[in-house]
Amino acid sequence: MPEAGDRGAARARWLGTGLLGLFLLPVSLSLEVSVGKATTIYAVNGTEILLPCTFSSCFGFQDLHFWWSYNISDTYRILIDGTVKNEKSDPKVKFKNDDRITLEGSTKEKMNNISILLRNLEFSDTGKYTCHVQNPKENNFQHQATIFLQVVDKLEEVDNTVTLIILGVVGGVIGLLILILLVKKFIAFIIKKTQEKKKECLVSSSGNDNTENGLPGSKAEEKPPTKV
């Protein structure tokens, strides 16, 4: 009997977990935040950089809350904080701790862009920048995406020599294949024409032989009558 009770309790726990998962699944699949495909971006000291961030929600949003945070080693701080009332309004900044930062995004026309621009970069700006979004319309579900900014003295030029060599080899191989196909078609055309000429010669030669031998249907039958 105790074993039956344990099995019943285990089934109840699994059932409860399954129901909770089904309840949270639509929420977890709805709100999405993206900072682009690149996980690391580079910028030169003293310039400016756009930190991209867009979000999407299958259920729409109302009084959406967003903020950007900076994190490196033991340092963590909120850079900018704001809200978006609905899909027809632009985001409003409520807090900003750095005058070099401006909100460049727009949420109108389903752009859902809350990117920020960071001016007058310094080497100390190197670190992780995370875009957070919280949607009250989805039970305050929160999602975030992180991008790493590396401030450098100058951008290194990428050596494309190997790439150019590979492209040159591939292009040469493709060109050679095309040339081989063209030569093959030309040879096939010449062979076809030669065979047609041989066939014409055979037909012409056969006609001449019939004429000379006086075979029926040839001109040898057209002899004038002999006078007596």
Q: Tell me how far apart the alpha carbons of residues 93 and 98 are, in angstroms, rounded to a whole number.
A: 12
Q: pTM for the full model? A: 0.58
Matching residue, tokens 């989805």 = 138
pLDDT for the residue numbered 223: 54
Tell me how far the alpha carbon of residue 174 is from its chain's centroid: 25
Asked if residue 33 lies in contact with residue 131, where contact means CB atoms within 8 angstroms, the answer is: yes
pLDDT tens-digit readout, 31-65 = 899 999 999 999 999 999 999 999 988 888 889 99
User: What homologous superfamily is domain 31-152 in, according to CATH?
Assistant: Immunoglobulins (2.60.40.10)
Tokens read off for 22:
């089904």
Q: Which residues of the chain have pLDDT under 50?
A: 17-28, 217-220
Around 176, how many Cα atoms within 13 Å sit in the side-chain half-sphere? 6
pLDDT for the residue numbered 225: 59
Matching residue, tokens 């001109």 = 219
Sheet holding 116-118, edge to edge: 49-51, 116-118, 101-103
Q: CA dihedral defined by 46, 47, 48, 51, rounded to 10 degrees?
A: -90
b/e sequence 102-115, b meaning 16+ C-beta within 10 Å: ebebebeeeebbbb
| DSSP one-letter code for 137 | G
Asked if residue 49 lies in contact with residue 114, where contact means CB atoms within 8 angstroms, the answer is: no
Q: Tell me how far apart the alpha carbons of residues 127 and 106 are, in angstroms, rounded to a whole number.
A: 25
The helices-and-strands tally (H runs, E runs) of the chain is 2, 11
The domains of the chain are located at 31-152
Q: CA dihedral defined by 11, 13, 19, 25, rounded to 10 degrees?
A: -120
Tokens read off for 122:
């310094």
Q: Tell me how far apart the alpha carbons of residues 49 and 33 are, in angstroms, rounded to a whole number.
A: 19
For residue 21, count other CB atoms closer than 10 A to its CB: 10
Q: Tell me how far apart the alpha carbons of residues 25 and 192 are, in angstroms, rounded to a whole number.
A: 69
